[in-house]
Structure 1
Amino acid sequence: MLIKNVLITGGAGFIGSNLALKLVSKGYTVTVLDNLSPQIHGDNPQITSPLYLSIKDKVNFIYGTVTNKDDWEKALKGQDAIVHYAAETGTGQSMYEVEKYVDVNINGTALMLNLLVNGDYTVKKVVVASSRSIYGEGKYLSKELGAVYPTQRTAEFMDNGDFEAKYPNSSELILVGTDEESKIHPSSVYGITKQNQEQMVLTVCPTIGIAGVAFRYQNVYGPGQSLKNPYTGILSIFSTQIKNGNAINIFEDGKESRDFVYIDDVVDATILGLEKEEANNQVFNVGTGVAIDVLTVANELVKNYGIEVPIRVSGNYRLGDIRHNYADLTKINKFLGFQPEVSFEQGLKKFADWVNTQEVQEDKYQKSIDEMKAKGLYK
């Protein structure tokens, strides 16, 4: 399967722009379709957005949106592959901007597939960005029951400071890596839309002779991540708070954990998915296979910046948040030979060094919390 021309939707975003630059350096011809959302790129993005400026004049840029058929038709011409990143991405925000998330994430993907099925295009492969959020809570082992998948945690326990996931008729659970065969039970509208995107691509594409690949990304971070967006990216959110000298409010007891994967590793995994036939019609986790708790993240960032701010473990929580999730990488290692290269310590230092070169952004995080509080989703 010869792939030369690649369309990246959302290709001016954090992951998309990094992927675009790497593909260009490898000799691919890249087209980007992006609406330069102010939530990510700020005001006057074509003049001020570092992400957009990093790809400007290096790719064929189409200013447009995945919810517009004409924009899709323009972008799809002559493409050999699509990497579909364009999406609304805030887990918490998705719970009260439901229509927007469904429209962009699900309907935008449906529009793409509809055109591929009914039009005359040269696309041979579609890579879709899925997410660890489709799993909801990660995989656990119960002494009594074996592998279990806890459902959403309830206010009843969390109001009393008990934040760990529970499972009926089981004693304390042991967290393990979540593999691709794990139960899919998203706990946010964002997670539902990602599950839907993944399933649509992997269901429709093979019926028309197009290879589908889905990557379930864990928490991606690194230089270039939007420091303006208060709805997603905990490292960026904390960094902006620290740089403003503001206290960091750690939810729950600070022991909730995520798998933080560095941007270069994510780009490398994605390119393997584009280039390798072994990836066709498969789904893969992309992470580090290591769980890092949120309190550790905050303390390490403070240390890296050398700016002392209060770190408060508040016991606040957001309904729909999961407790733990980290990736089992057995499958992607076996099929694609992928192994993450950048440790959390190395990646965090690179990220912090980059943040130190950036203008300090306004801290809008409290606004996002106030929005959730007003909807009864923040306790």
Structure 2
Amino acid sequence: MRVLITGGAGFIGSHTADALLAAGHSVRALDILDPQIHGESRQRPAYLAPEVELQVGDVCNADDVARALDGIDSVYHFAALTGVGQSMYDMTHYARVNGLGTTTLIEGIVKGGHVLKRLVLSSSRAIYGEGAYVCREHGAQFPGARSRERLQAGKFAMPCPVCGDDLDAVPTPEDKVSEPFSVYAITKKHQEDYVRYAANTFGIPAVVLRYFNVFGSRQSLKNPYTGVVSIFYSRICAGQPISVYEGGLPVRDFVHVSDVVAANMRALVADVAPGSVFNVGAGEASTIADIANALARAVGKPVTMEDKGEFRVGDIFGCVADLAHSRAVLGYEPARTLDQGMAEFAAWAGGQPSEDRYQQTVAELTRFGLFGRAGGA
């Protein structure tokens, strides 16, 4: 097939392009080469396979999208701004790129008369808000957002709404009600809504993949908003302590990019109903402290973790992927363990320049009242 990847010069897009090329497909990438990811020079990244046809353009621009769609059989829509923290105060930019970019793409498909074999949307576990939980006494619970007052009191764990005891995170299925807490999460939900509308109204054979915390080679080491792995790596290598949010207790599901690519490839050809949604994670719970320790083992350097009671407004406490549906219908099965994934990331990152911009993120979040410490303001 002739496949278009919006955001194809990025982290997940470039890895997916490699897999598509290896499978015999041809690949075109539409990418704006955002300076926050690719640097001020906005050069074609060296890791992008030379066989990929790169069109530098804006997914929000109808002419750029029309040119990119010409002669295309299937589309992966990856172009989006990521990062919970930055989205909370850069709302217009996130709404434009993630929302307008998706509607522009869909309009381009419809108005251009393109009959696609597949449209794959990269969504996010962020749309769930908090994941699923269970109370030892009161069973399944789906709590809402934690209050700022609770966070400032240092009570980070999710409380049972019935008895107040701490809840345990359990795997979150795709039918869990969406309750986005951040602007980023809201925009990802909007993307899903637009794609489902396109599937229901125009019969576009769309599949939605909800990625959990993706990590691995080629993720930006300069953008401090794309995840804790890059931040932790820079500080460990610099011999600086890591300040772990909420005591390092929050639970996440970290999935290696190679497993995400495997899901992407299956979604391209799977016989599923238009608008189908699938979780893409490792299906394993890891605390933030677990991630720091795994990365330190991979790098071969000690890590010092500081617990300052810090928290960020808009963050969740826990969410882990329930993969039962993805396994049964998509045939998805994650293959890399956390330690294997961290080893791959560290081996790649060792040859890349990185920047420790943690304090920059703290300053920006603090400026807008989105960063706090238990017992403080």
**What range is the shorter-chain TM-score in?**
over 0.9
Residue equivalent to 2:216: 222
Alpha-carbon distance, 1:264 to partner: 0.6
Is 1:34 matched with 2:31? yes
Point out where structure 2 has 5 or more consecutive residues left out of the alignment: 373-377
Match of 1:251 among 242, 245, 248: 245
Q: Which amino acid aligns with 1:74?
A: R
Point out where structure 1 has 5 or more consecutive residues left out of the alignment: none
Conserved? CA contact 2:294–2:338, under 8 Å: no
After TM superposition, the structure 1 = structure 2 runs for residues 47-86 of structure 1, keeping only pairs within 5 Å, are: 52-86=45-79
Alpha-carbon distance, 1:162 to partner: 0.9
Distance 1:130 1:268 in 2: 16
Distance 2:330 2:70 in 1: 29
Query: CA, structure 1 residues 262+279, in 2 after alignment: closer, same or farther (shift >3 Å)?
Result: farther
Match of 1:308 among 287, 293, 302: 302
Residue equivalent to 2:22: 25
Residue equivalent to 2:124: 131
Percent sequence identity is: 43
Alpha-carbon distance, 1:167 to partner: 4.0
Residue equivalent to 1:321: 315
Alpha-carbon distance, 1:267 to partner: 0.2
Q: Which amino acid aligns with 1:131?
A: S
Alpha-carbon distance, 1:301 to partner: 1.9
Superposition misfits of 4+ residues, deviation over 3 angstroms: 142-146
Alpha-carbon distance, 1:223 to partner: 1.3
Distance 2:57 2:214 in 1: 25
Match of 1:330 among 324, 333, 344: 324
Alpha-carbon distance, 1:232 to partner: 1.4
Query: CA, structure 1 residues 279+53, in 2 after alignment: closer, same or farther (shift >3 Å)?
Result: farther
Conserved? CA contact 1:144–1:171, under 8 Å: no
Alpha-carbon distance, 1:198 to partner: 1.0
Residue equivalent to 2:96: 103
Distance 2:119 2:208 in 1: 8
Is 1:159 matched with 2:152? yes
Alpha-carbon distance, 1:219 to partner: 0.4
Residue equivalent to 2:368: 375
For 1:250-269, what per-residue CA distance to the aligned partner results, in whole angstroms no more than 9, with x for missing partners? 11111111100011110010
Query: CA, structure 1 residues 296+113, in 2 after alignment: closer, same or farther (shift >3 Å)?
Result: same
Q: Which amino acid aligns with 1:75?
A: A
Conserved? CA contact 2:195–2:275, under 8 Å: no
Conserved? CA contact 2:293–2:303, under 8 Å: no
Conserved? CA contact 1:124–1:209, under 8 Å: no
Alpha-carbon distance, 1:368 to partner: 1.4
Alpha-carbon distance, 1:357 to partner: 2.5
For 1:31-76, what per-residue CA distance to the aligned partner results, in whole angstroms no more than 9, with x for missing partners? 10001111111222316xxxx2222521111000111111001001
Residue equivalent to 2:182: 188
Q: Which amino acid aligns with 1:273?
A: A
Is 1:7 matched with 2:1? no
For 1:190-217, what per-residue CA distance to the aligned partner results, in whole angstroms no more than 9, with x for missing partners? 0010011012101213422320100000
Q: Which amino acid aligns with 1:219?
A: N
Q: Which amino acid aligns with 1:11?
A: G
Distance 1:97 1:117 in 2: 30
Residue equivalent to 1:349: 343
Q: Which amino acid aligns with 2:313?
A: L
Alpha-carbon distance, 1:143 to partner: 4.8
Alpha-carbon distance, 1:123 to partner: 2.2
Distance 1:16 1:327 in 2: 22
CA-based RMSD of the aligned residues comes to 1.5
Question: Structure 2 length normalisation: TM-score?
Answer: 0.95
Conserved? CA contact 1:135–1:184, under 8 Å: yes
SS in 1 for 2:246: coil
Match of 2:334 among 340, 345, 363: 340
Conserved? CA contact 2:224–2:231, under 8 Å: yes
Alpha-carbon distance, 1:279 to partner: 5.9
Residue equivalent to 1:168: 161
SS in 1 for 2:277: strand
Q: Which amino acid aligns with 1:125?
A: R
